[in-house]
A and B are shown apart, each in its own frame.
Chain A
Amino acid sequence: MAEVLYFAIPAFVLLLVLEMLSFKYARDEGLVGYEARDTRTSLAMGGGNVAINAVWKFAVLVAYTGIYELSPLRMPADQWWTYVLLFFADDLAYYWFHRFHHEMRVFWASHVVHHSSQHYNLSTALRQTWTPMTALPFWAPLAIVGFAPWMILLQQSISLIYQFWIHTERVKRLPAPVEYVFNTPSHHRVHHGANEVYLDRNYGGILIVWDRMFGTFQGETERVKYGLTKNIRSFRPTRVAFHEFADMARDVRSARGWRDKLGYVFRGPGWSPDGSGGGTRG
């Protein structure tokens, strides 16, 4: 099966160029806009992610196929309601994938890439991890309940395509019913904020209702400061991809005792034994 995400790439590039031109010809001093070095790094991270996933998705397919074959449960591919259930199941899986990737450091080390830009534009959507392996367990329950592996990968791609357009400052707020149900540019700007009030908020993929249900919703109430609590100040792709893994390894090495070593891996990104805080957050 062809990866549907590949077909969206030309549209991504076109919309990105249009947004870039909008900042050139309809400048808004209140917005962060684009910076060449930042955009170059985001595109490099996106290209790297696509290349790595071209190989890694085979391993994902094998893993989900194994789980699916072992499961006694089946969701029929020829019934419309399977795809309705798939939509909600995928979006719920995405919420927990995303939440864990912010609230546990070993996962954050992978996801931090996406938050490492101090800009917020359509190129930020393409700033993706080079270590996508950490996502695998979160969609395994869908294979267990009988969704075919191709369905899971298809819906993951549809969700990622949806999430592209919300990485913009150009769309302020949408009508209230839309803002109540869906993840929007406003909600996702909050998610990318390093402001204290915005940390660990708005994890939803397509729907924002999960955040409302699980108590992690935050509306856009103050101007967003994009990036991390401790920005990395580097545009080098390899540094962007692996800096938090390196910092985590350093903290683990320097920690005394297994409890602290495990804490640096499995507790929150800001955790340290003495409570002084460490790592980056975003």
Chain B
Amino acid sequence: MTDNERRTDIALAVLAGASIVGIVLIGRAA
């Protein structure tokens, strides 16, 4: 795995995590 691929994997994990947190927060507020 190249350095850039590793950095992309982390970025995708961050986006996935942020999406899950967002969906949970919206669900709680609804």
Contact = CB atoms under 8 A, between A and B. Distances in A.
Interface of B is mostly: helix
Contact of A73 (B7, B26, B30): B7
A145 interface: yes
Residue in B4, B8, B11, B26 whose Cβ sees the most chain A Cβ within 10 Å = B11
Interface in A68-120: 72-76, 85, 89
A253 to B, nearest CB: 38
A214 B10 CA distance: 27
Number of contact residues on A: which range applies? 10 to 19
Contact of B11 (A74, A213, A214, A215): A74
Given A74-B4, A76-B4, A146 B11 contact: yes
Given A145-B14, A145-B15, A74 B26 contact: no
B26 A75 contact: no
Nearest to A141: B18
Contacts of A72: 7, 10
A88 B10 CA distance: 18
Contacts of A214: 26
Interface of B: 4, 7-8, 10-11, 14-15, 26, 29-30
Interface of A: 72-76, 85, 89, 145-146, 213-215
14 contacts: A73-B7, A73-B8, A73-B11, A73-B14, A74-B4, A75-B8, A75-B11, A76-B8, A85-B15, A145-B14, A145-B15, A146-B8, A213-B26, A215-B29
